[in-house]
Amino acid sequence: MKEKINELKELFSKRKTEAQTKEDIEALRLEFMGKKGHITTLMGDFRNVLGEQKREIGMMINSLKQEIEKTIEELKAKNEQKEMDKRLENDKKIDYTLPVEDGVGALNPRTILQKQIVDLFVSMGFTIEDGNEIETEYNNFDSVNVPATHPARDMQDTFWLDNGEVLKTQTSAAQNRILREHGPKCRVLFPGRCFRNEAVDATHENTFFQIEGVVVDENVSVSNLIYFMEEMLKGVLKKDVKVRLRPGFFPFTEPSFELDATCPLCAGKGCGACSHTGWLELCPCGMIHPNVLKEAGIDPEKYNGFAFGLGFDRLVMIKTGLDDIRHLNSENVKLLKQYGTKI
């Protein structure tokens, strides 16, 4: 038995010098330590060793086993280091400073246009705020004068969460918090992603973007509203557009309007894009309802204001000529990049 152990010791010394690669090392481990390996067989034979010799042979087997295990670990560590050095050496041949040509993604046309609109409103004294995507029922509906029984709640096909909260259906959901925080003299713009449980087609998405604004002060008038809207649309469409108001209905404004702009494609002469009317319906708006101001702790006897909720995806489509809203939520980088250049 002792002889056998010494033979294995020698065999291992020889074999370990031959193990060069990761695979060689694993083969060596299996040859000695595997289920059918030399050491396992040796341990089986050890059971037949009797009497006095048992202790000495046991110690010899153990020390050989430990030596093999230790050597294999060392071989593995050395090999990993060698491979790492090789990789680093190869990496040196790659020039990471070369400009990347393609495939790095693109800004969504929405992101580009939103930045332009934000800049414009900032230049007109607005503060920019963010809204939550998950909102309480109170913020989304009650606080903006949409009580439980109001038909507007059915109009909005809402994604309700199990805890009674909602995926915000409108940026107006942030009005109450913003008016509370900014107080009675404020100009705030709050863009945001909204969600409605709608069937999706070329002009409807269940996930879409709005840009909402509020202005509150003393003696705010509809003329002020028209002025801001006209400035914004001129800036965004880069055309000298005119706007007009038609009566509308929203629970959070009184009076409420639909704001149209002269079609930027035909300068109001009439074309396919504006159904030959010369006008494009762009932005619902109105004078903030006294109940909404009151609910936000603002005295409606002393202050008033206007609000608007721009259907932002539609504006992006008008600017870029994109004919399907679904592209805006796609990850088609090539297409988004192409349309981004049209903003």
Which residues are at the interface with ligand DAH (CB under 6 A)? 170, 172, 212, 250, 252-253, 284-286, 307-309
Q: How far is the CB of 222 from ligand DAH (least distance, A)?
A: 12
Closest CB to ligand DAH among 191 and 286?
Answer: 286
Q: How far is the CB of 92 from ligand DAH (least distance, A)?
A: 57
β pairing state of 186-195 and 127-128: parallel
* Encoded tokens for 282: 């762009």
Cα 263 to chain centroid distance, Å, stands at 33
Phi and psi angles of residue 92, each rounded to the nearest 5 degrees, phi first: -60, -20
CA–CA gap between residue 335 and residue 339 (Å, rounded): 6
Closest CB to ligand DAH among 8 and 211?
Answer: 211
Closest CB to ligand DAH among 38 and 196?
Answer: 196
Q: How far is the CB of 286 from ligand DAH (least distance, A)?
A: 5
The count of other CB atoms within 10 Å of the CB of residue 194 is: 26
Q: How far is the CB of 91 from ligand DAH (least distance, A)?
A: 52
Angle between helices 2-18 and 53-91 (to 10 degrees): 0
Q: Which amino acid is at 59?
A: M
Closest CB to ligand DAH among 28 and 229?
Answer: 229
Closest CB to ligand DAH among 71 and 170?
Answer: 170
Peptide bond into 255 cis (omega under 30): yes
Closest CB to ligand DAH among 12 and 141?
Answer: 141
3-state secondary structure of 35: coil
Tell me which residue has tokens 């800004």.
Answer: 107
Q: How far is the CB of 264 from ligand DAH (least distance, A)?
A: 22
**Cβ-closest position to ligand DAH:** 309
CA–CA gap between residue 60 and residue 66 (Å, rounded): 10
Closest CB to ligand DAH among 126 and 250?
Answer: 250
Q: How far is the CB of 252 from ligand DAH (least distance, A)?
A: 6
Which strands make up the sheet holding 253-262, listed edge to edge? 127-128, 186-195, 207-217, 304-311, 279-288, 253-262, 243-248
Q: How far is the CB of 192 from ligand DAH (least distance, A)?
A: 11
